[in-house]
Amino acid sequence: MKICFFGTYDKKYSSNKIILDGFKKNFIKVLEINNDIRITPLNNSNHLAILNLIKRLWIKLSLIPLIFKNLSKIKKCDAIYVGYPGHIDILISYPLAKLLGKKLIFYPCIILYITFTEDINLFTKDSIYAKLLKIYERFIYKLPDLIYSDIPLQKDVFINQFGVDPKKIKEIPIGADDLIYTYSGVKNSKNLNVVYYGLYSPLHGVEHIINAAKILKNQKNVKFLMVGDGQTFDQNYKLAKKNKLKNVIFYKDATEDNAKEILNSGHLFLGHAQNSPTVFRTLPNKVYQGLALGKVVITADTPASRGVFTHLENAYL
C-alpha cells in the first residue's frame, strides 16, 4: 500500500510526525507532497486581515505546481492523506482524489468554528464570519472518505454539529513517538523541574503556568522549563520578564530531536492549563509524551482526560 501525504502541513507538528512515522512503521510506502510551513497564529483580528489571508491562500495554492510535477507518482498511490493544518488543503486534494479515483483521508485536529468562537473568542457565534465558517466546515468535512478523530468526544461533535456520517469517522488516539519518548522515570532530587513542552497554543493556557511560577518564585528548588516556540511565546516571555521570574527558563530554539536531555530532567509534565470547549474534548500530545517518559503529569480535569486517565492513579487531574 502507498499513501500520498499531502498539504502545507507542518512537518514538526507532533501529530503529523506520529501519523507519518506510523504509516512507515506499518510498511506503508509514503509519498510526501508538501510545502512545509510553520503553523502561524490565528488568534486575533489582525491575523484575518486581507493581506494576511491572501498570503495564506498563496501558500496553499503553491501545492498546485507540486501536483503537476508529481502527478505520475500520485497516480501510483492508493489514498491521499491531508495533514494538519489542512482545512483549505482539502479543497485542493478533493478534486485530485476524485480525478484519480483515490480515497481521501483527513485529520482536522481542531474544529475552526469552535476554536474561533468559544476557545479564543475571535468572533461571536451570531457574527457573519462565524456562520460562514460553520457552513464552510460542514462542507469540507463531507468531502473525505475517512476522517480521523483522536478522541470520542471530538467524533460526537463532527456527527452532531457538522452532520458527518459516523461511518466515515475513525477514532485513532495519537499518542507519543516511542523512538523519542522512551521511559526515563523520575529521579530523586532536591530540585523540582516542571516542564511545559509545546507550540504555545492559546488553548494551552501558558499564561497560567507563568502565574504559577510567580507564586512559587521564592521556592528556590522549583524551576519551570519552557520548551518550544509558537503563537503565544512572545507574550508569555514578556510576562515572565516583567515579573522578573528567575525560576522560569525558556528553551525557545529546542526541538523534539534535541530537547531530550531537558525533557528527561523533568519531574512534572504539564498538559492543558485551562478549560475551554476544545480542551474539554481533546488531549494534547504533551500528556502522552510525559507519560511515555515516566513523568508525573498534571492536566486539566475534563471529560476527555477522564475518558483516558484515572485521577491519582495515572494522572493528577
Cell numbers that stand for 279 in this block: 480542551
Using a 10 angstrom Cβ sphere, with 0-12 exposed, 13-18 middle and 19 or more buried, the burial of residue 118 is middle
Q: Could you read off the pLDDT of 129-151 as tens digits, one per residue?
A: 899 999 999 999 999 999 998 88
DSSP per residue over 221-276, as a string?
Answer: TEEEEEE---TTHHHHHHHHHHTT-TTEEEETT--TTT-HHHHHT-SEEE---S--
In a domain, 244, yes or no: yes
What is the per-residue pLDDT for 86? 92
Based on the fold, state whether residues 89 and 226 are members of the same structural domain. Answer: no
In a domain, 92, yes or no: yes
Whether the pLDDT of residue 37 is over 70: the answer is no
What is the per-residue pLDDT for 218? 94
Based on the fold, state whether residues 248 and 155 are members of the same structural domain. Answer: no
Based on the fold, state whether residues 147 and 216 are members of the same structural domain. Answer: no
- Residue 246: give the domain boundaries: 192-306
Laid out side by side, the sheet with 79-82 consists of 29-34, 2-7, 79-82, 103-106, 146-149, 169-171
In a domain, 184, yes or no: no
User: Of 171, 204, 220, which one is at a domain's C-terminal end?
Assistant: 171
Q: Given pLDDT bands bounded at 50, 70 and 90, which one contains residue 52? A: low
Q: By the 8 A CB rule, do 197 and 227 touch?
A: yes
> Looking at 99-103, 124-128, 245-249, which range is the least confident one?
124-128
Q: Could you read off the pLDDT of 148-178 as tens digits, one per residue?
A: 988 878 889 999 999 999 999 998 887 888 8
The DSSP 8-state label assigned to residue 119 in this structure reads: I
| More confident of the two residues 76 and 273 | 76
Q: Given pLDDT bands bounded at 50, 70 and 90, which one contains residue 68? A: very high
Mean pLDDT of 285-289: 88
Q: What is the CATH number of the domain that holds 43?
A: 3.40.50.2000
User: Of 137, 171, 205, which one is at a domain's C-terminal end?
Assistant: 171
What is the per-residue pLDDT for 35? 84
Based on the fold, state whether residues 126 and 245 are members of the same structural domain. Answer: no
What is the per-residue pLDDT for 176? 86
- State pTM to two decimals: 0.83
H/E element, 212: helix 206-215
Q: By the 8 A CB rule, do 241 and 206 touch?
A: no
- Cα–Cα distance for residue pair 204/233, rounded to 1 Å: 11
Based on the fold, state whether residues 211 and 143 are members of the same structural domain. Answer: no
Cβ-proximal residues to 104 (8 Å cutoff; 6+ apart), any chain:
79, 80, 82, 90, 93, 94, 97, 143, 144, 145, 146
Q: Could you read off the pLDDT of 92-112 as tens digits, one per residue?
A: 999 999 999 999 999 998 898
In a domain, 176, yes or no: no
